[in-house]
Amino acid sequence: MAPSHKQPYHHGNLRQALLDSALETLEAEGLEKLSLRGLAKSVGVSPTAVYGHFADKTELLIALHTGGFKVLRETLEHELEALPATAGGEDRVRALGLAYMQFARERPHLFDAMFFWTPDFSRVTPEQLQEGVGSERLLRDTLIDMLKEEGVQLNAAQAAVASFSAWALVHGISTLVRSGAVEGAVHCEKWPEDFSSFHPHSRQEQVIRQILDIQLAGLKASAQLLNQPD
């Protein structure tokens, strides 16, 4: 996605204007192209004005990191709200997984900045912590509801295991697709050609849905194991 033409900043919320411009640069060009001086130029203010809101690049990235996780949480919440009221737990977990992978596919540079850049923990803000766990908490609560439908009550540790398992799957798929590993496996003739997203009759989406079905079946089948005493 090419950056849109930016108009010089004149008034209003400068901090938000800086964040909007930084996000645009991040998603168009990646993390390495982002700088405070470049940001000042794109918005049409002096570097001093930028430093008045962000002491350094790390502070800017923390704000973007926080905003990215907020957008992800809101995206997942929207997917759940769009489901019919009669949707069961399995449908809700599947919707979260598909929405997570779509987010990673459509906003790859933001996804990378969220998961492959971590500030020194002494710099982490309370808001960043809150948003950082929001999506996982939503997934965990939805999994708990799904397994309740199977007659299984999980304690906090068991629910974390179930959430870790489901999150690892969708995050792993997202990362493999993002890195080109799937295309590499196809190119090396290890996987069928129609696993590739470039194949005219690609089955990649179908295969991903099948993997989610396997994961959900596994979680349901192992629910009793999760419910065993620690």
Where are the alpha helices (H) located in the chain, listed in sequence order?
14-29, 36-43, 47-51, 57-82, 89-106, 108-115, 126-148, 156-179, 181-187, 204-221, 223-226
Higher pLDDT, 139 or 190: 139
pLDDT band per the 50, 70, 90 thresholds, residue 20: very high
Residues 180 and 27: their CA atoms lie apart, in Å, by 18
Give residue 230's pLDDT.
Answer: 55
At 191-202, the pLDDT tens digits run 999 999 999 999
Cα–Cα nearest to 80, from 138, 31, 20, 16: 138
Q: What is the identity of the amino acid at 128?
A: Q
Closest CA to 209 of 178, 162, 170: 170
Share of the chain above pLDDT 90, in %: 71
Confidence tier at 60 by pLDDT (50, 70, 90): very high
Pairwise pLDDT comparison (141 vs 32), residue with the higher score: 141
pLDDT value, residue 227: 60
pLDDT of 5 reads: 46
Confidence of residue 33 (pLDDT cuts 50, 70, 90): confident
Mean pLDDT of the chain: 89
pLDDT of residue 190: 86
Domains of the chain: 10-55 (1.10.10.60), 72-226 (1.10.357.10)
Element (H, E) at 123: none
Q: What's the pLDDT tens digit per position in 99-156? A: 999 999 999 999 988 998 887 888 889 999 999 999 999 999 999 999 999 888 888 9
Select the highest-mean-pLDDT range: 26-35, 79-88, 147-156: 79-88
Q: Distance (Å, rounded) from C-alpha 176 to C-alpha 6? A: 34
- Residues 117-131: tens digit of each pLDDT: 887 888 889 999 999
Residues 1, 25: Cα–Cα separation, whole Å: 10
pLDDT surpasses 70 at 224:
no
Question: Is residue 80's pLDDT more than 50?
Answer: yes
Give the pLDDT mean for 3-9: 48
What is the per-residue pLDDT for 30?
85
Percent over 70 (pLDDT), the chain? 91
